[in-house]
Chain A
Amino acid sequence: MIEVRNLTKVYGQHKAIDQINFTVDDGEIVGFLGPNGAGKTTTMNIMTGFIAATSGEVSINGLDIVSQAEKAKAQIGYLPDTPPVYGDMRVDEYLNFVADIKGVKRSTRKKMLEDIKRQVRIEDMSRRLIKNLSRGYKQRVGLAQAMVGYPKVIIMDEPTIGLDPKQIIEMRDVIKSLGNKQTVILSSHILQEVSAVCDRVMIINRGKIVASDTPEKLSATLNRGNNRMQVTVKADKQSILKALAEYPIIRNVDAQIGREPGTTDLILSGERDDTDIREFIFRCMAKHSLPILLMKSTELTLEEIFLTLTGDVRSGPTGYVQSITSANDDNNNSDYYETDDADDETDNDTTDKTAQPQDATGQEQDQDQDQAQPGGEDQ
């Protein structure tokens, strides 16, 4: 069990992370998702005791990372963004050195290292100098290093960066297999990657956690399937807008001149989140004989998710963390609420502000606020 309380790190004038709170249960695989500079690496560096926080606490299975540093660090395996390998060592020498500094007993070491090498598939590389290995193999040696001693917690910073697609799949399998016995925290800026392996995703931006939930629910919340469509119509903007005005259920999110001459590209969304607007779009356009050349559902890109979520954080009061939750109970760890008593009113204000036609998630958040228990803490 990892507990992070009110973690803040300030570099000069810049707040790298700001009052982060979360807990991770045993055996859980949690992903930090965020753009570059969001504070993922800083958070991980603090959790592993590599750098100090300006304020706040981290405890690993009840051991404080500052005051009980040695014991707490013994519970953690860390794979930083750059694998911390020595180029002039052979793989076996390196893993033995890591086993030495982690104090792994000689009697169990040989078998442990063999097992780990098999798991990350570097058995054939045992005698190779690390500097001659490819980026992907260095990354795997880095992961093997984190696994040495079978720590209870494994923290990985961008574990699949620089790997080829096959290696990425292999890496995911390894991470999934770790989750059975160990708690895993990993970071990434790739949504698909996190959703492929993690039980829970925390979206971090500008040093704050802006959302925390299972990947399924996050994408369900943020990508409302057939509710948001990209449409190309062979007509000018004016006549399309006129036609759409007759169907208030469809909202025109964005319209601009299309790539093909004489066409208009539109992003349309439903008035309500659960409406399937495909049919309405067809009827609307057909009625006015406006040919639809293309219609496909738009999935919110990570960038859009961030824009949506960070927009809320900026308009909300400081320390306010927006929670995306759902009533689905199939996963105990999935729900993460964090609202301050004092913020309840302001939360609603925020939601009102954001429930503009342009904001596709405004409605959803409104529901979320209703579900969030007032003054609720980590569940």
Chain B
Amino acid sequence: MFPIYKKELRTYFTQMMGYIFLAFMTILMGLFYTMIVLMSRNANFQGVLANTTIFFLFLIPILTMRLFSEEARHKTDQLLFTSPLTVTQIVMGKFLAALTLFLIAAGITVIFPLMVSRFAESMPVSRIVGTYVGWILVGVCCIAVGVFISVLTENQIVAAVGTFAAIFAMFLMEAFAMSMPTSAFASLVFVGLIIVGVVGIWFNSTRNIISSVIVAVIGIAVAVGLYLFNNLIFDGIIVRALLWFSIYSRFDSFVLGILNLSDIVYYVAFIALFIYLSINVIEKRRWR
């Protein structure tokens, strides 16, 4: 894992991407720092952080777009995947390199609150620390999604646009989820569609029509059974499912300085899920 990590980190600074990312991040933070803190004479640095999360939209794709796409395009993935390293080590090495660069950027921005603290009479330290934790967690979630999308394509541009779209969708997810129907029947249809989707993936990987049909029939029967037995549990399931992907909606409590364990667990689970998916997509592609 460490050789991959080292190589990726090095590549960020031989291919400009690292510099571009750090420069953009610092400029944006500086801009918002000037507007929110300096010009309004307000020590609430957490406002700067909260306002800059939207820029992950295009900052994170810079970090993640080339991670796997470029290896596939230059066929260097043949070296990595035929080496004694495991896929997990390769994915983790790359993910941690992106994470490190992101943390370097976060580290640089700490200068701003430090400057404010020199002059401010009262600093909302707990809120700023909380916001930093949330800001980093949201950023790392975006990186995990970016790594996953980079695994899916050989084309860097497609990876960048895909990551942009995915983060954009997560940003809008809360508003989108709220407009979904909450009736139990709509939820049943939604669950049915998910079962069909899962069975489709199952069939695609096993090519076994009998087991796929059995799984589909059992799944749908259980869903319908639950619906007839107690349809309350279906209430608002669409909204709950979609909100799971709304990484920004949990950010607000961090801005208030509240480190909620369930939120942290949520973010860690979200990151782990996408890393796991990345590893499995690669394994799947190679072992079929």
Closest CB-CB distance, A73 to chain B, in whole Å?
Answer: 5
CB neighbours (8 Å) of B211 from chain A are none
Among A16-24, A85-93, A169-177, the stretch that binds chain B is A85-93
The CA of A366 and the CA of B3, in the complex, are separated in Å by 57
Known contacts A52-B286, A52-B288, A66-B287; is-contact A85 B84 (Cβ 8 Å): no
Q: Is B6 part of the contact surface with A, judged by Cβ < 8 Å? A: yes
Tell whether, in the assembled complex, residue B81 and residue A50 are in contact, meaning their CB atoms are under 8 Å apart. Answer: yes
Tell whether, in the assembled complex, residue A86 and residue B6 are in contact, meaning their CB atoms are under 8 Å apart. Answer: no
Nearest residue, chain A, Cβ from B89: A101
Tell whether, in the assembled complex, residue A101 and residue B11 are in contact, meaning their CB atoms are under 8 Å apart. Answer: no
Tell whether, in the assembled complex, residue B15 and residue A98 are in contact, meaning their CB atoms are under 8 Å apart. Answer: no
A56-104 at interface with B (beta carbon < 8 Å):
66, 69-71, 73-74, 76, 78, 80, 82, 84-89, 97-98, 100-103
Nearest residue, chain A, Cβ from B15: A88
The CA of A354 and the CA of B284, in the complex, are separated in Å by 44
B6-26 at interface with A (beta carbon < 8 Å):
6-7, 11, 14-15
Contact flags B73-85 to A (C-beta < 8 A → 1, else 0): 0111111111111
CB neighbours (8 Å) of A100 from chain B are 2-3, 6
The CA of A101 and the CA of B6, in the complex, are separated in Å by 11
Tell whether, in the assembled complex, residue A97 and residue B7 are in contact, meaning their CB atoms are under 8 Å apart. Answer: yes
Closest CB-CB distance, B51 to chain A, in whole Å?
Answer: 35
The CA of A103 and the CA of B2, in the complex, are separated in Å by 11
Tell whether, in the assembled complex, residue A101 and residue B85 are in contact, meaning their CB atoms are under 8 Å apart. Answer: yes
Nearest residue, chain B, Cβ from A10: B288
Tell whether, in the assembled complex, residue A84 and residue B287 are in contact, meaning their CB atoms are under 8 Å apart. Answer: no
Which of B15, B77, B287 is packed against the most chain A CB atoms within 10 Å?
A: B287
The CA of A97 and the CA of B8, in the complex, are separated in Å by 11
B43-93 at interface with A (beta carbon < 8 Å):
74-86
B72-124 at interface with A (beta carbon < 8 Å):
74-86
Interface size class of A (residues with CB under 8 A): 20 to 34
Q: Is B4 part of the contact surface with A, judged by Cβ < 8 Å? A: yes
Interface size class of B (residues with CB under 8 A): 20 to 34
Q: Is A49 part of the contact surface with B, judged by Cβ < 8 Å? A: yes
The CA of A34 and the CA of B138, in the complex, are separated in Å by 53
Known contacts A73-B84, A88-B11, A102-B84; is-contact A50 B4 (Cβ 8 Å): no
Tell whether, in the assembled complex, residue B75 and residue A73 are in contact, meaning their CB atoms are under 8 Å apart. Answer: no
Contact flags A318-343 to B (C-beta < 8 A → 1, else 0): 00000000000000000000000000
Closest CB-CB distance, A135 to chain B, in whole Å?
Answer: 14
Q: Is A51 part of the contact surface with B, judged by Cβ < 8 Å? A: yes
Known contacts A85-B76, A86-B76, A88-B15; is-contact A49 B82 (Cβ 8 Å): yes
Q: Is A351 part of the contact surface with B, judged by Cβ < 8 Å? A: no
Q: Is A269 part of the contact surface with B, judged by Cβ < 8 Å? A: no
Closest CB-CB distance, B96 to chain A, in whole Å?
Answer: 15
Tell whether, in the assembled complex, residue A84 and residue B75 are in contact, meaning their CB atoms are under 8 Å apart. Answer: yes
A276-333 at interface with B (beta carbon < 8 Å):
none
Known contacts A84-B76, A88-B14; is-contact A48 B3 (Cβ 8 Å): no
Tell whether, in the assembled complex, residue B78 and residue A52 are in contact, meaning their CB atoms are under 8 Å apart. Answer: no
Closest CB-CB distance, A145 to chain B, in whole Å?
Answer: 7
Tell whether, in the assembled complex, residue A145 and residue B74 are in contact, meaning their CB atoms are under 8 Å apart. Answer: no
The CA of A48 and the CA of B77, in the complex, are separated in Å by 13
Where the two chains meet, the residues of A that have a C-beta atom closer than 8 Å to any C-beta of B are 45, 48-52, 54, 66, 69-71, 73-74, 76, 78, 80, 82, 84-89, 97-98, 100-103, 145
